[in-house]
Every structure is written in structure tokens, then in C-alpha cells.
Amino acid sequence: MEYINDKLINNIAQQLKITSNQVKSVLTLLSEGGTIPFIARYRKEVTGSLDEDQIREISKEYEYGQALDKRKEDIIRLIDEKGMLTDELKEEILAAEKLITLEDIYRPFKEKKKTKATEAIKNGLEPLSKYIMSFPIEGGPTKEAEKYITEVVKTKEEALEGAKYIIAEQISDNKDYRTYIREDVLSKGFISSTKKKNAVDERETYRDYYDYNEQISRAKSYRILAINRAEDEKIVTVAINGDKDKHIIYLNRHVIGKNENSVTAYLVEEAIIDSYDRLIFPSIEREIRSILTEEAEDNAIELFGSNLEHLLLSAPLKGKNVLGVDPSFRTGCKIAALDKTGKVLAKDVIYQNQKSVDEVVPESRIRDAEQKVLIMCKKYAIDIIAIGNGTASRETEKFIADTIKKYNLNTKYIIVSEAGASVYSASKIAQEEFPDYHVEERSAVSIGRRIQDPLAELVKIDPQSIGVGQYQHDVSQNKLKETLDYVVEKAVNQIGVNVNTASKSLLQYVSGLNKATAQSIVTYREAHGEFKNRNEIRSVPKIGDKAFELCIGFLRIPESINPLDKTSIHPESYSIAESVLKYLGFRSEDLGSKELIAKINSTKPELIEKDLNINPITLDDILKSFIAPMRDPRDELPQPLLKSDILHLEDLKPDMELEGTVRNITDFGAFIDVGIKESGLVHISKMSKKRINHPSEILKVGDIVTVYVLNTDIERKRLALSLLKPEN
């Protein structure tokens, strides 16, 4: 099938607007065991600097194309075995670019289960159907039908009915008819839902879909997923509606054509209606529901992935001592003091939210809690208090804000999303990390570490448990997991990891590593102490030559005696890097120095390329590493918003200006944390004066934005915001 593969490569190149050679290069590197991050970072000169997403898209499209080619081979073989394969049919099969088109072509040749048509054929009525489709001008079908009366077919009416079943199935099997009707319904049809008569929807969650009707081409992905869920919960009935009259006219024109004066034309008309009602439209309705669901799922997964990527790459608060707080009422708030590296210095529990039998918090509990927080903050020089946003968050925030103000502490606080924290706290990873801690104590540590290094902490949690998606439980879980794992892998490798401090959870996402080899690195590190240089990683059991090649550029050793080991320069390029340093008149010890940076900025790269015969792409990466050897792309992002006083929903008034952090992006808007318990919603219509198709065109998770209050709903605890400044 080499011809088809070449065509596939060309198709992928055209679709991605790149060259066929780039596609071939990527496929070759992948077949040789290269990972997407490795190819994107260290094989730019081969791929023409394709990024991770482009490489992944090439891989996915090629896999789909291979599956399509395999199906083509199977269909050609199956039809050929029936002795029905023609050159024209073979060409049509080979030209198909989608699986649905391929299945339409194959439909007439499929072995059918027991149907009304197969029973009619079994009863000897196929010749009668052919007579009807010959469109005779004279004679009578009723008289012709008498010839087919048997013990099984007892009347001429039964004979004609059976013949029409055969014709109906033949019409239904015609790929051109199905394609036309399917495309027409997709472009001009409607999807509707109505509430079932005795359905119970206590919270009126699906109120918008009790009597819903929208053109399919305009239906938003989140609506499709909402309708599907409502249908699954037996709240609504869903239907696809097309222009039946238009479709019947189309079928009559193509099936009967100029034979409307035939004595059998009326029977064919009846067969067409039966074919449409019983076979074609129900099948197309299922196909369209499947198409819409798959597209909606893909959009939801893509959005979840994008949100997760931006969350993982949120700016870390480096060099800060943090007090993590897991709020609670009855069992008390667990608190954990962390040093700048995330090491736990102390932990405790405070009961400032725990009420006594008379439903009042005793003053003594508040005083005791204040003293514990005060001691922690002073003893461990706490810079930031991180409060989880779960149960009792609002009450705990008030207590922390009051304590900071009362004791004039030089400390700020921040509300941190707890999404997935409980999952982590009860996980095997958390148990191994803190075997002697209670679940809530582990959660307090996790909450604190999330602001110190979001990526390092969040990789410990199943990505599906991090709440930055929409309808994530309604989509294909395998597809979702594959996408989110890719996103985490991409984020980890974009940043790189310190091999001497990284957890097993972080290491397993490094290019070329997995859970087993990550554990092997940690075990070796515990037994032999910190790695002295990159080459020592070759001594780790299970790290072979290929794994070393794929992972080593992403593993950093800041304390190495070779300064290049702290950069993103791959060891395979060390000799090139050293020749560049020598050319510039410096040594590796000078990386990041003002003098070296000045020299680089005053030297034309073209001269270095020419004099040392270095690929310009490789040189560019090396020079960037010379300028910023420990570069972290996250350092350029805006820092999280810190607070010193509390704000309530009741405090907000229309047109009030606020600063907030984007917590989640959905198809219909973005949720913004402005420092109150409830996140505010900026609807897509309130994001720009210009028309936009999706909120992600304007915002991404982690953005710090200025917003304006539109209105508040105290009873429903809802806040509507706008990015547009009010006009006076």
C-alpha cells in the first residue's frame, strides 16, 4: 500500500501547511523511538522546527490514515471474494478519505442480518422487484405479482409488499443518496429536545432543554453534551429533524426520474417513503448524533487540555515560605508550614470554625487558633498563607484576614483551588510521601505547594480530577486520558526538571522515562546521594542508551561541576557549545554572566554559523541557553494575586472594577476568581466589542485580568462580570 501512504503523507502536509519531507522526517523519528518532546526540542534541524502539537497531529493523522488504508484493504478483499469487484469500484474505494464514506461504499456488499428485504429475497420475490424497477409502461404489477404466490407468499399484496422491501433496502444502500441526505441534515437540519412527561428534574438543571430546537450547524458543543446527559438521565427526548419533503423529492427524482408514467412508479414511490422512514433517516439520525457527540467530545477534550496546560504552566511563587491551610468545620483546619523548597517544617490543627453545642464558636478556640497561626508565621517567616477553596473556606479566609490585620503580620494570603487535592491526599503517592500524616494534613501540604510550584504538585494528581474542564465525565475517558497525559508530558518537558529534587510523579513524565525508570532514578538518588553530573544517570538501572538520549536534555543538575548540565543543551551538542564559547572568548563557567550576554548581543550569529559551520537552529538554542542557563518560561508570567483583606459577594456593586485570575475556560465564557468564594462568570458576549468564536481567543487559565461587575445574585450566589469597561 506504498502508493496510498505517499498520498497520505501529502494529504497531511497540505492539511498542516508543511512540506511532505517534514512529515516523513517526523514519522521516521517516531518509528525510531523518538518521543514528541525530544523531537520538538532536539531535532528541529530535521523537522524544520515543528512544535509538539504539530508533531502529535502528524502522528494522529498518520495513524488514522493507516487505519483507513487497512479498512480499504479489507473491503477490497471482501468484495473481491464475492466476485463483485470492478476497477471502477476499486478506484472509488481507494479514493475515499473518511471512514464514513468508505462504509457507505461497502454497505450494499455487506452480509446483512435478517431483514424484511432478505426474507423477501428468500421467498423468491427479487425478480418481482426487478420487474417493478424496470418501470414498464404497459401491463399491471398486480397481475405480475400473482406469479409469485406460494405457500409462504399467500397473496399478491404480500408479494408486492415484499418486492417493495427489497427496493427500499436497495435505495437505502445507495451511498450517493445517503451522503446527500446526511450532508443536508448536517447543514440545514435541526436538533430538538423535549421534556419527558413524567421526568423529574428537581433542580431544573436541564430547564434550557425542556423545549429546545436549534439548527445543527449552530449547536454549540456544550449544548450537545448537556442534551446527551439529560437524555441519559431520562429527562428529555432528543430528535434530529430534516426536511423530509425535500429529501423525498430528491429520491423520487433520482430513483424514478423520467419514469413517472410507468405502471409501477406508484409502487416505487411507496418503497421510497418506506426506505426513508424505516431505513435511511433513522440510520442517518444515529450517525449525526454520533458525529455531533464525537465533535463535542473532541472540543471538550481539547478545551480541557488547553486549560490544564495553562494551569500547569502557571507562574510559581519561588523563594516563598508558605503556610498551607485545609479548611474544615467539625474536624478543624489542618495547617502546614513549608520552606522555600516545599519541605514541611511543622504541622498543626486549629479549631476556629468548630462550634459548640449552642452553635457558637467559643472565644477560646479563636484565640488558640490565632496564637498557632501567629507562632507559625513568625517562627518560620511565612510569606504567604494558602487557603483551600473547599468547605469552610469563606469562614477560614475571614479568620486569616482578621488575624493578619490584628497582629499586623507582614503576610499575604491567597485562595487556592482544591480540585483534586482530596484525590491526591488519599492516593498511594501521598501515602508514600507522608506515611504518618492524616489525609487532611497531606491536603494542607499539597495546597501550600500548589502555589510554590503548580506543575511539580499537580502532576501527582490524576489530570481528570483537576477541575478545569466541562462535561469531562461525559466524554470518551480513553481519549481524555490520552490527551491530558500528553498535555502533562508537554508541560513537564517544556520546563525541564531538577533531577536531584524532582519527585517520581514529575520524573515519569520526562521524555524517555516512565513510572519504572522514574522510580529507578529516585531509588538510585536515595542510595548514592545527589547526581554529580548528567553522565552519572547512565549508571541508573533500566536507563539504556535510548532512554538516556531521550531524557537527558530535560534533566537539569544545577550543582554539576559542568555548568552545561544545568542548561537545556543536550550533551550531544556539548562539543558544539564549547566551540561557540571558545569562539566568543568565554568558558562554561561564564554562562549567564553580563559579559557573555553582552558579547552574544554584539556578535552576528551569521558569522558564528559560517566560521564554525553550525546549523542556525542549533546555534540559536545554544545562545539562548548561554544567556539564561536556568531559564524557566513561567518566570515571565504574571504572579498570582495575593490578598490582605476579605471581600464578599454582598460588597460588590455594578460597574465596580476588580482584578481577578482566570480559573476555567468553557465554550460559553470564563470563570474569574476575584477574591470571593464564588467565581464570577464573564459570558463570551461580554469579552470583546468584536465578535469572537470562543473565549480562548481572549483568555487562558491563569491570566490576571481587570473585570467589571455587571450584577450579583445574592440568593443564587452568582456573579456576572465583564471585560468591557462601562461607558459613562
Instruction: Quote the radius of gyration of the chain (alpha carbons, Å).
Output: 33
What residues are paired with 236 via a beta bridge? Answer: 195
Return d(Cα 621, Cα 653) in angstroms, integer. 50
Question: Which of 16-20, 60-64, 472-476 has the weakest average pLDDT?
Answer: 472-476
Q: Pull the grid cell for residue 657.
A: 472594577
Which position has the higher pLDDT, 674 or 677?
674
pLDDT higher than 50, residue 268:
yes
Mean pLDDT of 143-159: 95
Residue 462's pLDDT is 83
Mean pLDDT of 418-423: 82
**681 backbone dihedrals φ, ψ, rounded to 5°:** -105, 125
Mean pLDDT of 36-58: 96
The dihedral through the CA atoms of 563, 565, 569, 574 has a sign that is: positive
Q: Is 712 helix (H, G, I), strand (E, B) or coil?
A: strand
Judge whether 642 and 596 are in contact, CB under 8 Å.
no
Mean pLDDT of 248-258: 97
The secondary structure of 659-698 as a DSSP string is EEEEEEE-SSEEEEE-SSSSPEEEEGGGS-SS--S-GGGT
Give tens-digit pLDDT for 570-596.
Answer: 999 999 999 999 999 999 999 999 999
Judge whether 37 and 52 are in contact, CB under 8 Å.
yes
Which position has the higher pLDDT, 38 or 315?
38
Q: Is 699 helix (H, G, I), strand (E, B) or coil?
A: coil
Tell me which fold the domain 2-109 belongs to.
Arc Repressor Mutant, subunit A (1.10.10)
Mean pLDDT of 686-703: 89
Residue 357's pLDDT is 62
**183 backbone dihedrals φ, ψ, rounded to 5°:** -65, -35
Taking the whole predicted model, whether its pTM rises above 0.75 is answered as yes
- List of residues 6+ apart from 668 with CB closer than 8 A: 220, 222, 683, 684, 695
Give the chain's largest Cα–Cα span. 106
CA atoms within 13 A on the CB side of 614: 24
Q: Is 59 helix (H, G, I), strand (E, B) or coil?
A: helix
Residue 110's pLDDT is 86
Residue 572's pLDDT is 96
Residue 172's pLDDT is 96
Q: Where are the domains of the chain?
A: 2-109, 118-305, 322-452, 524-636, 649-722
Q: Pull the grid cell for residue 80.
A: 473481491
Return d(Cα 323, Cα 412) in angstroms, integer. 10
Angle subtended by helix axes 265-274 and 126-133, to nearest 10: 110
Q: Pull the grid cell for residue 293.
A: 457527540
Residue 728's pLDDT is 61
What residues are paired with 662 via a beta bridge? Answer: 672
Assign 530 a pLDDT band (cuts: 50, 70, 90): very high
Mean pLDDT of 50-71: 93
Residue 1's pLDDT is 34
Return the closest-CA partner of residue 224 out of 664, 687, 667: 667
Instruction: State the DSSP H helix or E strand holding residue 291, giving kind and residue range, or none if neither.
Output: helix 281-312
The secondary structure of 536-560 as a DSSP string is GGGGSTT--HHHHHHHGGGEE-TT-
Query: Domain 524-636 has what CATH class?
Result: mainly alpha
Give tens-digit pLDDT for 432-454.
Answer: 999 999 998 999 999 999 999 99
Return the closest-CA partner of residue 175 out of 85, 98, 70: 98
Residue 649's pLDDT is 80
3-state helix, strand, coil in the chain (%, to 5): 55, 10, 35
In CATH terms, 649-722 corresponds, of 2.60.40.10, 3.40.50.300, 2.40.50.140, 3.20.20.140, to 2.40.50.140
Judge whether 307 and 701 are in contact, CB under 8 Å.
yes
Residue 106's pLDDT is 92
- List of residues 6+ apart from 700 with CB closer than 8 A: 306, 307, 310, 662, 665
Return d(Cα 663, Cα 466) in angstroms, integer. 11
Assign 315 a pLDDT band (cuts: 50, 70, 90): confident
Give tens-digit pLDDT for 596-637.
Answer: 999 999 999 999 999 999 999 999 999 999 999 988 888 877
Distance of CA 207 to the CA centre of its chain: 27
pLDDT higher than 80, residue 35:
yes
Residue 488's pLDDT is 93
Q: Pull the grid cell for residue 503.
A: 519527585
Straight-line distance from the first to the last Cα atom of the chain, in angstroms, rounded to the nearest whole number: 68
Return d(Cα 142, Cα 160) in angstroms, integer. 8
Other beta carbons within 10 Å of 593: 14
Assign 228 a pLDDT band (cuts: 50, 70, 90): very high
Tell me which fold the domain 118-305 belongs to.
Tex N-terminal region-like (1.10.3500)
pLDDT higher than 80, residue 4:
no
Tell me which fold the domain 322-452 belongs to.
Nucleotidyltransferase; domain 5 (3.30.420)
Would you call 589 exposed, middle or buried from its count of C-beta atoms within 10 A (0-12, 13-18, 19+)?
A: exposed
Q: What ranges in 500-652 are assigned the alpha helix state H? A: 504-507, 515-528, 545-551, 574-584, 594-602, 605-612, 616-627
Judge whether 145 and 128 are in contact, CB under 8 Å.
yes
Q: Pull the grid cell for residue 87.
A: 476497477
Long-range contacts of 350-354 (CB under 8 A, 24+ apart): 352/395, 352/396, 352/399, 353/327, 353/328, 353/329, 353/392, 353/395, 353/396, 353/399, 354/329, 354/330
Going edge to edge, which strands form the sheet with 344-350? 344-350, 333-338, 322-326, 384-388, 412-416
Other beta carbons within 10 Å of 82: 9
Question: Which of 7-11, 72-76, 304-308, 642-646 has the weakest average pLDDT?
Answer: 642-646
pLDDT higher than 80, residue 326:
yes
The fraction of the chain above a pLDDT of 70, given in percent, is 98
Judge whether 534 and 565 are in contact, CB under 8 Å.
yes
Mean residue pLDDT across the chain: 92
Residue 2's pLDDT is 39
Return d(Cα 715, Cα 719) in angstroms, integer. 11
- List of residues 6+ apart from 635 with CB closer than 8 A: 315, 318
pLDDT higher than 70, residue 457:
yes
Which amino acid is located at 265 in the chain?
Answer: A
Q: Pull the grid cell for residue 421.
A: 487535592
Question: Which of 298-312, 371-385, 410-424, 459-473 has the weakest average pLDDT?
Answer: 459-473
Instruction: State the DSSP H helix or E strand holding residue 301, giving kind and residue range, or none if neither.
Output: helix 281-312
The secondary structure of 444-511 as a DSSP string is HHHHHHHHH-HHHHHTTS-GGGSS--SSGGGS-HHHHHHHHHHHHHHHHHHH-EETTT--HHHHTTST
